[in-house]
Structure 1
Amino acid sequence: MLPFPQKFDQNEWCIVISIVISYAIILFLPKRFPLSITILIMLFGTTVARISDYLLAISKLDLYTVMDTEKYELFDLITYILYAPFAYIFVYVYDKYNIKGYWVLLYLLICTIGATFYEHLNKVLHVFNYHGWKLIYSQSVYLFVQCIALLFFHLIRKLHRRTCTQTNR
């Protein structure tokens, strides 16, 4: 079992409050996707975050740590739960407003700025502690991940529609 934090301070509160707010938003949004697509989008967000942290934080690069200590603790794991609603809300807004063409680029830029601002808040509250990483680096990561998220969404939606069409025959 993962250890609890040595002390429950501002970074743990930041994560708890963010999780409550982001999941509350999802609960109050009208249902937009089938459950299978919702689960896949949320798993995508969590998986990408975990892989990114493994490559950038946990690996030999050690560009940053998550939370208070170098040791892996319960709130390190809980932070990954937070990426799921962000991925869902990102795709939800994109789909709801049927963003197309050059507007996709603007949407990606706005979301990247928002994500960078939120990461800065997490840095100030010591959720992330940099050891060579700079906030500006995150922007390219966000742009890349968001593009992949949209491609993933289009793929699973297309596969879902195809499956539903074949089932109805």
Structure 2
Amino acid sequence: MDLPTRFDQNEIFVIVAFIISYIIVLLLPKRFPLAITILIMVFASIVARLSDHLISGTLIDLYDVMDTGKYELFDLFVYLLYPPFCYLFIYVYDKCKPTGLSIVLFIIACSIIGMLFEGLCVLFDVFQYKGWKLYYSFSFYLFIQSSTLVFFVYICKIVNLERKKHVPK
């Protein structure tokens, strides 16, 4: 894994965002069992890496992450930024418990917030677009956040089923 070609604003931005996002997650009251928290965070990392590989890889190559098109050390930190944001998304969803149309509005609002953060990342050269436009990301966020909610509801059902199996009668 290569080191950055130069240490500048994008590495500083990633470090600051990394520290702040993980501090926020650690300071929040515990809401989920550790297994669910780990699954949420692993899911976020995998989805982020796969999505970026599909649209920024060598085949399509619509943008670069960090300084080059090659995988470098700070790319890892960028992919580790997704889990706390995903956790916060699920945390707020679980706390507010939106239903019906409010779920759709929640996903749309979070997709807009995701685009705003991505725009900030572009401003600090974390992403360099090569044919990609920020507004393209909106549909990706809608799909990924909807998928994340489906995944969360599914793992919660599994955990609840397992708990019911072990409850003495």
Match of 1:98 in 2: 97
What is the aligned partner in structure 2 of residue 54 from structure 1? 53
| Mapped partners of 1:83, 1:66: distance in 2 | 14
| 3-state SS of 1:129 partner | strand
Q: Distance in 1 between matches of 2:95 and 2:162?
A: 22
> What aligned pairs does 1:23-38 form with structure 2 within 5 A after superposition?
23-38=22-37
CA contact (8 A) 2:18 2:77 kept: no
Matches within 5 A, 1:1-169: 2-169=1-168
Deviations 1:91-136 (A, max 9, x none): 0000011111111111111111111011011111110001111111
Return the alpha-carbon distance in structure 2 between the equivalents of residues 161 and 70 of structure 1: 43
Which amino acid counterpart does residue 147 of structure 1 have in structure 2?
S
Output the amino acid matched with 1:87. C
Structure 1: state its 5+ residue gaps. Answer: none
Please report the TM-score for the alignment, with normalisation by the length of structure 1. 0.97
Distance 2:68 2:149 in 1: 34
Amino acid at match of 1:86: F
Q: Aligned residues: percent identity?
A: 49
Instruction: Tell me by how many angstroms 1:59 deviates.
Output: 3.6
Secondary structure at the aligned position of 1:4 is classed as: coil
Separation (CA, whole Å) in 2 of partners of 1:101 and 1:160: 24
8 Å CA contact 2:2, 2:73 repeated in 1: yes
**Aligned AA for 1:21?**
I
| Partner SS state of residue 36, structure 1 | helix
Where 2:64 maps in the other structure, the secondary structure is strand
Return the offset for 1:31.
0.4
CA deviation map 1:62-103 (0-9, x unaligned): 000000112211011111110000110000000011111111
Task: List 4+ stretches of structure 1 deviating above 4 A.
Answer: none
Q: Residue 168 of structure 1: SS of its match in structure 2?
A: coil
> 1:167 Cα shift?
1.9
Instruction: Tell me the C-alpha RMSD between the 2 structures.
Output: 0.8
Task: Kindly provide the CA deviation profile for residues 38-57 of structure 1, in whole angstroms up to 9, marking residues without a partner as x.
Answer: 00001111110000011000
Aligned 8 A contact 2:4 2:72 in 1: yes
